[in-house]
A and B are shown apart, each in its own frame.
Chain A
C-alpha cells in the first residue's frame, strides 16, 4: 500500500520532503503528515461537494418528474444554494436522543456510516495515478470498506429504542447481507477480462480508440453484468425501489425515525457519497474510467500530463454523476418493492443471473480462442505489462526512492515470468 497522488506524477510526501525537509531522503514523519493532510482535505472536498450537488439535483429532478418546479429561490435562478440553506437549518436543530435510546451507540452510529463511506474514497482513483492509496487489491478493499456501512445503520436502528427504527434496521440487515453476494460476483466479472484488481490499472487498460476497450463492451457477459451490478449497487445504497430501511409510508422513517439535526444529515451525506462511490466503481470497472475513447498518449511534458489528468478527473466525475442521475431518476419513477419482493429479486433472480454471467465470462475467451484464435472480439486490451511498468516507473521518479532501487531491477511481471519459466523447465 503506497500513498501516491496529487501533483501529476509527483509523489506528494516525497515532494514535501524535497522542498521543506532534507532533500534526497526517504519521506519522514513531517512530510508524511503534511501529505496526509492534503489528501484528507482533497478527499473531504470530493466527499462533501458532490453530495451537496446531488441533494440539490435530487430535489430539482424529483420536482420536474412530478411536474413541479423544485427549489427556485435560494441563491438565484435555480435554487442552487438550497443544500447550503438546508445545512444551515439542520445545524441549528436540537440534537435529540430519545430517553429509551442507548445513548453511546445512538451517538456513534452516524459516525460509523460516515467514516466507512469516506474511507471508500481513499482507494477510489479519480484519474491516472490520482488516488490517495494505490493498492493491488483495490476493488476487494473498496468492497470490504463499503460493507462496513451497514453496521452503522443496524446500530442506529437498534439503539434508537423505537420499534419503527428496529424494523428498519432488520430490513436493512437482511437486504445488505443478501445483496452483497450478487454485487461482488458482478464486480468480479470485468476482473476476469482485465486480469487485475488494481482499480488504477483497470482504468488505464480501457484507453484506446472509441469504446472497444471499455470492459462493458468486452463480451456479452460483462455487458449484462453492468446492469446487474447497477441494480445491486442501487440496493446497496438503500435507494428506491430498494429503500425498505426507510420506507416513509410504512415505517415513519425507518432507522432514521429518532434522529434529528446534524446526525440525521450525516446519514444523508453518507448516502449520497456512497451513491457516488458505487457509481465510480461502475465507471472504473465497465465504462472506461477516465477515458473518453480518444487516446492522447503523445503528451510528455509534466504540465501537459497534469492537464490531461485534470481532464480525466472531470471525465470520471461526469460519468459517475451521470450514473447517480440515473439512480435519482429510478427513485422517482419506480414504486417501492415489498420486503419479500426485494428478497426474491436478489435470491431468485440476481444471484443465479450473476452466477451464470460469471460462468459465461470465464468460458467466453476459451470459446473465442477455439474459434477465432484470439481472446477478444475487438482490439486487444492495452498490453498489461506496459501498464504495469508505466505505473511502476512513476514510483521510481519519487525523490529519495530512486536512490534505493536502481533503475534496472527486475519489474514484478518479469519476475513472475522468470519463475513460471523456471518452474516449467
Chain B
C-alpha cells in the first residue's frame, strides 16, 4: 500500500462520508457545507490522478461558483419553513429507491471496464514533469490528438474536441445574453416608488 493509495482512500472516504452527511443532515446550510467538503474531496481525487485541470475546474465552477450562489440564495430565503427540511417517509423511500438504482448503474459500468489494460502513451508526450499536465488536454481542445496520432500511420488523424468546445462556448454566450436580457432594468410607465 503506497502513499498514493493511503491518500486516495482518505479522499474517497471523505467524499462519500460527506455526501452521506448532505443527505442525512436537515439544516440546509449544513447540507451546503457538507457539499463543499464532498466536492472539495472530489477535486482532491482529481489532483491525485494528475488531472489538475479537471480538479481546478471542479473547484472554480462547483465549489467557488455554484456553491457560493447556492449559499447566497439560501441566506436570502432561509427563514421559517426552509431552514429545516422534514421529508415525509414516502419521499424518503422513493429517493432511496432511485439512489439504489443509480448506484447499481454505476456499479455495472465500473465492473464492465477492463482496469488491467495498459494505456500506452508515446515517448516524451505528457511526461508529468515540470507540471506538464494540461498540454495534452489543451491540444485536444484545439483539434490535435498527439496521444493517438504520434504512433499512428500517416494519414489517419483523430479528431480533437474543437467542435464541442466551440459549441459549448456559443451556448454559454447565448446564456449570458439571455441572463443580461432577463436582468435588465425594466422601465415602468407609471413609477410609484419614491426612490431613485
Contacts and interface: CB of A to CB of B under 8 A. Distances in A.
Interface in B136-166: 139, 144, 146, 149-150, 154, 157
Interface stretch (A133-141, A267-275, A355-363): A133-141
Interface stretch (A55-63, A169-177, A226-234, A306-314): A169-177
A388 to B, nearest CB: 8
A395 B131 CA distance: 10
B34 to A, nearest CB: 10
A391 B130 contact: yes
Contacts of A415: 122, 124-125, 146, 150
A159 B29 contact: yes
Interface string A174-195: 1011001000000000000000
B68 A173 contact: yes
A12 interface: no
Contact of A394 (B130, B135, B149): B130
Interface stretch (A87-95, A281-289, A406-414): A406-414
Given A148-B63, A158-B71, A409-B123, A416 B131 contact: no
Interface string B123-135: 1111111111111
Interface string B46-63: 010010110111011001
B67 interface: yes
Interface residues of B, number: 49
Given A151-B63, A176-B68, A422-B154, A138 B131 contact: yes
B45 interface: no
Contacts of B135: 136, 412, 416
B56 A28 contact: no
Interface stretch (A67-75, A102-110, A214-222): A102-110
A1 B127 CA distance: 10
A371 interface: no
Contacts of B150: 415, 418-419
A137 B52 contact: yes
B129 A392 contact: yes
A385 interface: no
A4 interface: yes
A32 interface: yes
B143 to A, nearest CB: 8
A198 B131 contact: yes
Nearest to A176: B68
B27 interface: yes
Contacts of A420: 144
B90 interface: no
B72 interface: yes
B20 interface: no
Interface of B is mostly: helix
Contacts of A173: 68, 71-72, 75
Contacts of B53: 136-137, 140
A155 interface: yes
B3 interface: yes
**Interface SS majority for chain A:** helix
Interface string B160-195: 000000000000000000000000000000000000
A206 B135 CA distance: 22
A392 B131 contact: no
Nearest to A199: B131
B124 A102 contact: no
Contacts of A147: 59-60, 63-65, 68
Task: Please classify how large the interface on chain A is, using the bins under 10, 10 to 19, 20 to 34, 35 or more.
Answer: 35 or more
B82 interface: no
A177 B60 CA distance: 12
Contacts of A166: 75
A388 B135 CA distance: 12
B68 A154 contact: yes
B144 A135 contact: no
Nearest to B67: A151
A29 interface: yes
B153 to A, nearest CB: 11
Contacts of B157: 422-423
B106 interface: no
A200 interface: yes
Contact of A1 (B69, B126, B128): B128
Interface string B1-40: 0110010000000000000000000010110010010001
Interface in A277-330: none
Given A2-B131, A32-B3, A412 B56 contact: no
Given A33-B3, A136-B135, A138-B131, 10 more contacts: A105-B33, A136-B133, A137-B134, A140-B60, A144-B60, A147-B60, A148-B59, A158-B75, A405-B124, A416-B144
Interface of A: 1-2, 4, 28-29, 32-33, 102, 104-105, 108, 112, 133-138, 140-141, 143-145, 147-148, 150-151, 154-155, 158-159, 166, 169-170, 173-174, 176-177, 180, 197-198, 200, 388, 391-392, 394-396, 401, 405, 409-412, 414-416, 418-420, 422-423
